[in-house]
Chains A and B, each alone.
Chain A
Amino acid sequence: MAEGMIFDIQHYAVHDGPGIRTLVFFKGCPLRCLWCCNPESQNFGPELRRSAARCRACYACKDHCTSGAIREGQTGPLMDREACRVCKTWPCVEACPQGALAVMGRAMTAEDVAARVAADAAFYENSGGGVTFSGGEPFAQPEFLEDLLLRCKRLGIRSAVETCGHVPAQTLLELEPLIGLFLFDVKAVAPNLHERCTGASNELILQNLRALAERDASKIIVRVPLVPGYTDTEENLSAIASLTAALGIAQAELMPYHELGRDKYEGLGRPYPMAPQGPHPLSARIEAALRIFRERGVACEIGGE
């Protein structure tokens, strides 16, 4: 049976596909978007996270760390993240009396995940909902994803997948028949802009989007992060909207950038990649962005939250 790396399962998720859904977050992603609000989703292995708000700098963790990876810093323990990455036992987590330490990501069998998903079957039934595999990048754990999709199909549970698109075309197309809805992220059309934002070329992504749309465009919702100074230019949005329309994709969702992930970076011992922003993009700018899509016949809403 396939095992995979999961970092969270959220019930009563209502922003990622229709109805009441369960969101299964895969750990590990091929892209590194500057604005990512789930940094714990990026690396493939388990990661130690420290909550600064809970930590009282008592250093009980330091006494229990078998690798000598902790030293005393200005505001609390500093971990040698490389040592933590290969740590398999995390004795520090148990030792912390404040519950300030947690391991993000754990290996789960497809059977266990499917059981968690199936627990809410009655809610899906009554609301037209189902399961959404998100992440991280679900297609980056293809066997695991396939196992889950098959299990859900057997249980009569509709599946959606949110993908960054930077995945092998073969995997994507092989699993496509098992998936009822794709939430397909498109960040930028111009290759250099995409590379600047995500660290990777978008060639494969756009190719995959085309291939999927050829199969069944009605299954796709294009998701566009609205990031000030990066993706929210008229030029970029127009290009995405035109492409969406040209591919016959009828729906898009805009995801306004927010800084709610900032604390998580600190907790993982990483710098926050974005410069501080003002408040959310002004509603006027969101309106303009929506219009760009709607003018091209693409139904567009604010998504996520």
Chain B
Amino acid sequence: MLPNEPQDPTTELVTPQAFTPREVKSSPSTERSAFLKRRYLDAPLVVDLEYISLLTESHRRTDGMEVLERRAEDHAFALERLTPVIHAGDRIVANKTRFIRGAVPYLNYAAGPFLREIRKQEQDAQQKNIDQGQGGGIARAREEAGEKGYQVLSGKFLISDQDMECFKGLCEYWEDKCMMEVGDRLWKKEFPQARFIEDGWTINLYTAPHDPCPEGRLILDFETALSKGYRAIIEEISQKIAAFRPGGLKDGAKLHFWRGARRVLEGALRLAENYAAEAKRLAASEHDPARQKELLDIAETCRRVPALPPRTFREAVQSYWFTYILGHLEGAHLGFSPGRLDQILHPYFVRDEGVSWDEAVGWFEELFVKMTQVEYIASLSWQGLGHGNLYQNCILGGLDEHGSGADNETSLAILQAQINMQMTQPTLSVWYDDALSRPFLMKAAECVKTGVGYPAFFNLKTFVAHELAASGLGVETIRKHAAMGGCTEPVLGGMSYGVVQAGFVNHGKLMDLVMNDGADPVTGVRLFSPRPLETYEDVERSYLEKMRPAVRHWQQYWNYVMAAHRQTVPLVFCSAFVKDCIGRGRCMDDGGAVHNGTPTTLSSGLVNVANSLAVIKRLVFEEKACTLQELKAALDANWEGHEALRHKALSVPKWGNDDEFVDAIFLRLFEEYCGWVKGQENYLGKPYDPSMLAISTPVPFGKACAASAEGRRAGEPLADGVTSPYPGTDTQGPTAVVRSSLKVDHTKIRGGLLNLKFHPSSLRGDRGSSNLLALIKTYFDGPGFHVQFNVVDSAMLKDAQAHPEHYRDLVVRVAGFSAYWVEMSKALQDQVIWRTEHGL
């Protein structure tokens, strides 16, 4: 358990065994799905070097080629040579690695952190604040590594001794060529604020360098990939090349992009052919006639797609999956997302008389196991921030371009598949609008009640308003393409650049600096010179004067890194599937995408700042219950011996209770942050977009922060997400949380999040579902932007902590994603319990 405060221990205790189970319990709909899930749960995490070895082999030979063509050639070279692996029971083929749970190390993005691990050095200053999970596939990896000939890489991946030698060699090859190194050589030398950024890392003002996994929050144009087929797209590109006569100097670059795109699509076709051949080979020696038939079907499917448009639902699923996974393979992605699967695949479901709704559910069950099988390896810091989740977000419902509710039978099948499977990925979301059908919304509520934490609900109206103001695109386009790229960041599917950002700013740490004359109380590092704090306004101003440069330097630093991105790892395959890169003859980094307003500036912990400022305002300047020095002394002592003052601090109103006093402070900070973020241009020449999602940052950020005026002790987590109250301080129930949250103008940000927790008993039955939907509707009428739910009894979670062996497949919501309980760190488990305890 986390420290006792500020939760209320008078809450009646329930005996450990007695807890309210989650309402909906379901299971895989077919034996195959059950087998696939079981196999996944039993598999260890493994590093697979095949892709990076092939990429490197090519890279050694392509020196001197134009960068886009080289990038395309290297990816295509690898695609053509990857071992086609078809696991027992699989009907959908191809994955990023040869293993059930394999990860590709993207040394072309960042080799440094791995080299530092090998050399037993610290990867970054954030590493010590990050815990990884211990159980599940991680335990399996560690267990098997105990055997001769194996070891553990990056805390949780199995690697053979032989591969480890190879890995070292690959790291050394990329050490001075990877994006991170090229970027570092640039900004560390030329950026005047380089020192500030590095100091910022030292004091945990920022998350660790994002270079190991910067891509993502991207959705490809699956509709075009499926409906045209790769052959037609290749043909289109060839015609463009044939018809093209270069004009100005920049014009010539188009040829390089087109040639690269064509090359990489051809490589993808070869990979599909390899799978067809492998399926045929396996079929020849297969004794079980049923399986033999399946393998022959796979062979036929892979001969057809993705080269040509699918004729059946199964071909559509496979074609979709090829584009999805090969795009995923190209870059070090977090948040690369499936898009609106219920819109993309529904036409094929409708047209295919041969596939029933139940069978479609089975296909989705299998597809979701495949998505969950994708693992990532990065720096320990970034592994810890995602807890193994790649934020693949599948959003359902929404509107069609004409404004009618777009939910359909495929949407229901997808929900049913995750109710049955409860895989951590893809995380499901709902684009909410009043036009959605009742059966769909009730099914979504049913899924929430499994306790997996999804679907999260997003208000389409709010996003449309945001994009209308920011993008200049028409309402039909926005409605049609609105999708979720990553945990809570909306993009326009198939036409947005995605969201490639620097990582997070820690507002809690900024408050530490305010309270300590501009120096970090934990490390002693000074970032700002002291300024006198005579009045409350001085204090608030001091915070703003630190927030502004901290944000601006962070944005500018990232623009340098992205310059290196263009020179080292531009995405060519992915660009080929983002409108209108092919038309414009430009990759995404050169402005090929129709929509370039997505890059965000992320931060977390603003609620803690508002709560702390409220305490300072009330106790120091209004009630004069203590001086600022006395308060500071209490914080320095981590509240030890200052219990009475701490009690007073805890009694000052906190955000999330619809209290004017503190809410007004939060609103001012929120407006300042949003306004400021937009003042800076991103690397695509558009304003940066403010965002305040959180992923797991509240835990490591909080760990690095001293005690704070709101009553928080040193090291305790921060609040999660833009408007979620600090755990334990929302004493007025969820409607008050919603009322506070609605004071914020949610159209101002791209991606923010509100966590609500419910005890299972409060959502029981259809009546409970209806009430939940009424709550969502009320919040979105507001209009709020996002809300997600944890529906578990904290007593059950405590039992799960004590007896992990009974809970191998328990999935809970963290922040914008769901994770397997047993693979979460103890600290994160504690945070979820803590949050959950304040349920109803």
Contact = CB atoms under 8 A, between A and B. Distances in A.
A14 B647 contact: no
B774 A263 contact: no
B735 A12 contact: yes
A95 B18 CA distance: 36
A98 B777 CA distance: 39
A179 to B, nearest CB: 21
A183 to B, nearest CB: 15
A188 to B, nearest CB: 27
B461 to A, nearest CB: 15
A53 B771 contact: no
B228 interface: no
A12 B762 contact: yes
B778 A12 contact: no
| Chain B CB within 10 Å, residue with most, of A51, A53, A99 | A99
Assign chain A's interface to a size class.
35 or more
| Chain B CB within 10 Å, residue with most, of A12, A51, A267 | A12
B449 to A, nearest CB: 13
A54 B9 contact: yes
A51 B732 contact: no
B774 A19 contact: yes
B781 A11 contact: no
| Chain A CB within 10 Å, residue with most, of B10, B650, B768, B770 | B10
A51 B733 CA distance: 21
A97 B643 contact: yes
Contacts of A22: 735
Contacts, number: 84
Interface residues of chain B: helix, strand, loop or mixed (majority): helix
Assign chain B's interface to a size class.
20 to 34
A20 interface: yes
Contacts of B736: 11, 119
Interface string B729-766: 00011111001000000000000000000000110100
Interface in B585-602: none
A263 B12 contact: yes
A264 to B, nearest CB: 8
B618 to A, nearest CB: 15
B768 A53 contact: no
A209 interface: no
B768 A123 contact: no
Given A11-B736, A14-B768, A122 B778 contact: yes
B643 A12 contact: no
B651 to A, nearest CB: 7
A127 interface: yes
Contacts of B13: 263
Interface string A104-138: 00000000000000011011011111000000000
A96 interface: yes
Given A20-B735, A119-B739, A12 B775 contact: yes
A277 interface: no
B12 A123 contact: no
B12 A122 contact: no
Contact of A122 (B732, B734, B770, B781): B781
Nearest to A120: B735
A11 B732 contact: yes
B18 A279 contact: yes
A264 B643 CA distance: 24
A127 B10 contact: no
Q: Which 10 A/B pairs are nearest by Cβ-Cβ distance?
A: A127-B774, A97-B643, A11-B733, A53-B9, A51-B10, A97-B644, A126-B774, A11-B735, A260-B12, A305-B761
22 contacts: A11-B732, A11-B734, A12-B733, A12-B840, A14-B762, A14-B767, A19-B774, A20-B775, A22-B735, A53-B9, A97-B646, A98-B647, A119-B658, A122-B778, A123-B735, A126-B777, A127-B778, A128-B774, A129-B774, A260-B12, A261-B12, A305-B761
Given A12-B733, A122-B781, A127-B774, 12 more contacts: A11-B732, A11-B733, A20-B775, A95-B644, A97-B643, A97-B644, A119-B739, A126-B777, A128-B774, A261-B12, A267-B10, A305-B761
